[in-house]
Structure 1
Amino acid sequence: MRLVLASASPARLSVLRAAGIEPVVRVSGVDEDAVAAALVDPKPAEVVTALAVAKAEAVLPLVATEFPDSVVIGCDSMLLTADGTLEGKPGTVEAARDRWRRMAGTSGTLLTGHCLLRLRGGEVVGRAAGSEQTTIRFGRPSEEDLEAYLATGEPLQVAGAFTLDGLGGWFVDGIDGDPSSVIGISLPLTRGLLAEVGVAVSTLW
């Protein structure tokens, strides 16, 4: 049985590899803004879960043919800041700079949503979805360090404009919760969802 990761995230791939799984990567190409905009008055956790579901389902037509006996996982993460704003990828230096100036010295909640689809004979025979939250305590980078960090491009394409496992780790004072969730894919949540669809995590090693 293969695990199919519906994500282009190198961080998620790295977490799975370090945990003994060599996934097949199939990028979903989902329009995240469109999926989120279609939700009616959602709670923050519902947004990341809906995005994870959309990503897993988007790769199904291809995966069902390529890997008819497999598990597909879609993931999404967003940061709920202290002022109640739900932040995805900033996309630009200006947006990332503004976010860091607002969240430096504060705490935020990193929300990670996952969706698992179990395929057998090319058909979905099980599905499970859920979310995880972890508190992030942000440090206060100097202006010089912040500008240098922005210039690397790293914070532009990651949820909340920071990483835990990259350069952004210098500016995180601590976390309360699951570190793998902050990196992008929660191993405890994934293990639980796998159990829901009848798959032992050890069968994927």
Structure 2
Amino acid sequence: MNNTEQSALTQEISNDARVLYLLGLRPLADKKSGVTAPLNYKQLIAMLNGGSKKFTLGRQINALIKELVKYQLIEISADASLDKSFNGQQVTLPLLNVKTDDYPSLHMKWSAMTTDWTPHQTVFEDLAALVGIIDKDYSETELGEFIAYWMGRPEMQFSQFQWTQKFVFQLKQRRVASGVKPKYKVGNQWVTPKAGVEADENAKQLVAKYSKKQNSINK
């Protein structure tokens, strides 16, 4: 377990959630991507119970997963719902590969969102790489929308690491959001190009059509 995971797990998390993370999920996760193997609720319940019968229902496991998501120890896909079972599904442990020694200090102080907030650059770069964000540039509008959303929830307080992590996850969702008409695709992500004009196929066809028409008139 790295220092960042340890700092996150020392927050106000139930012991059952800690056991689920350390013994039930972490051993199932790919060491590079942090993605777990498909969850087996029957095995997880048996592991959590030991010699007792405290856990008998899948929704009890879901409650622990929801707790770990709240504290940024688990990431679920954008189209997943915490109200549905994760049995047979995969989740991601985003802190699994974080190795920067300074990260624990970023978990020490919690605060509400402020108008001048900016993501921690090192954390942003590292987490963006971990979750597979290719285009790491973000606009002032994207940052402003994030700040505005959380300014409306002053009761929510997180560490600088967690605020940055939330911002990274929002950008990831934007990059892979359905219904967005991108310019080009890299891997499984849609990336908006930098400066420059690209004519799509419809524009090219229109140019060709009217060029032929103009040529016929000139003749």
> One fold, TM greater than 0.5?
no
The structure, 1 or 2, with the larger RCO (C-alpha pairs under 8 Å, 6+ apart) is: 1
TM-score (ref. length: structure 1): 0.27
The structure richer in strand per residue is 1
TM-score (ref. length: structure 2): 0.26
